[in-house]
Homo-oligomer: A and B are copies of this chain.
Amino acid sequence: MKIGSEEQLKTLLRTRGLRFTPDRLRVFRALADTPQPLSVPALINIVAPDGVNQATVYRTVEQFLALAVVQTVLLHDGVVGYELVPPFSSHHHHFICLDCGNVQDLPADRVDSALTKSLQGLGLKAVGHKVDIYGQCEKCHEDTD
């Protein structure tokens, strides 16, 4: 699974004339190993101890974005986070707890078809979507009771 993804990243990079470097792999792994979207500063905290330079992280994230390896996600406090997208991770949506700020993944299949239909007749051509749902996660819901 993980190795397969890394091979795909390698192939994708080379296809575009880019290089598969240790630093890029470190950033990729940080994203793959973290269940939550990461901001650039958060990413820097993770990979800096491995010797990856701050500027390199910015450049890598920008490239991953251009390559559609990652997508941006809005965290609860208005911070932009990055996460892997298919085929590097499963297609999913987010449930963001308004109490604790935790972001958890939601399986996407239940909502996808409905969204596609909702565009019919509007002259718009969808190639992707992002759904964020806000509320209380199970834990915080219990605390409130």
Could you tell me which A residues sit within 8 Å of B by CB distance?
65, 72-74, 78-80, 95, 98, 106, 110-111, 114-115, 117-119, 122-138, 141
Contacts and interface: CB of A to CB of B under 8 A. Distances in A.
A118 B110 contact: yes
A133 B141 contact: no
Contact of A111 (B79, B115, B132): B115
B131 A135 contact: no
Contacts of A122: 95, 106
A129 B132 contact: yes
B131 A131 contact: yes
Contacts of A124: 95, 133, 135-138, 141
